[in-house]
Amino acid sequence: ETGVTQSPTHLIKTRGQQVTLRCSSQSGHNTVSWYQQALGQGPQFIFQYYREEENGRGNFPPRFSGLQFPNYSSELNVNALELDDSALYLCASSLGGYGNTIYFGEGSWLTVV
Amino acid sequence: AQTVTQSQPEMSVQEAETVTLSCTYDTSESDYYLFWYKQPPSRQMILVIRQEAYKQQNATENRFSVNFQKAAKSFSLKISDSQLGDAAMYFCAYSRNTGNQFYFGTGTSLTVIP
């Protein structure tokens, strides 16, 4: 049990729609990262938020956006959904700094049809 | 660019035996961190072990230990006295000392045979 919670656990969306995924970080953690894990692959870094500011971004288009709130919880928003966006979306929290261990939630399974 | 390679898509081990999972990585950095994460069918990634590159001593956590070969850019995980609960996907990951991104390999699926 990492203390990182994500919602919803599963959802199905239609191509072109928009989706919002939510994450509550572990108590005391001020940094949240989001990863996309396609079936049979390792997680791919989407972006990270530190104290409500985006603090690094992976190779994902602008239709992937996020927010971090004052309580350090976070949202991942994906607009104009494509079939290839179907994946497990993992949220991970950490206590700032570089090289610190990140602790994952159980993920949100997104299926785009 | 940082890449992490796990060349063993699947491995199996008899219960109570020892198994080693391989991982290599590519980096031009001298200071970085390496991790092994376990992902059981529940899909939650769980930290197994962490290694700091500036430490020559190999990290150990109970039945889990690593063989860190910095010059060879190799970071293997040894699981001793394997248990049924060790069955999972294992991911090797790399993080730069000045970076906020983790780079993951494609994973090794470990089966434990009773």
Q: Which positions ≥6 away from A97 have C-beta within 8 Å?
A: none
Task: In whole angstroms, give the CA distance from residue A73 to residue A22.
Answer: 8
- Give per-residue pLDDT as tens, B35-89: 999 999 888 899 999 999 999 899 999 999 999 999 999 999 999 999 999 999 9
Tens of pLDDT, residues A22-64: 999 988 888 999 999 999 899 999 999 988 899 889 999 999 9
Closest partner CB to A99 (pick from B37, B95, B103): B95
Beta bridge partners of B3: B26
Backbone angles phi, psi at A21, to 5 degrees: -115, 145
The closest of B39, B42, B72, B77 to B61, measured between CA atoms, is B77
B91:A107 CB<8 A: no
- In which band, very low, low, confident or very high, does the pLDDT at B1 lie, cut at 50, 70 and 90? low
A104–B44 C-beta distance less than 8 A: yes
Report strand pairing: A31-37 vs A5-7.
unpaired
* Phi–psi pair at A110, nearest 5 degrees: -110, 125
Q: Smallest CA–CA separation between A100 and chain B, in Å? A: 8
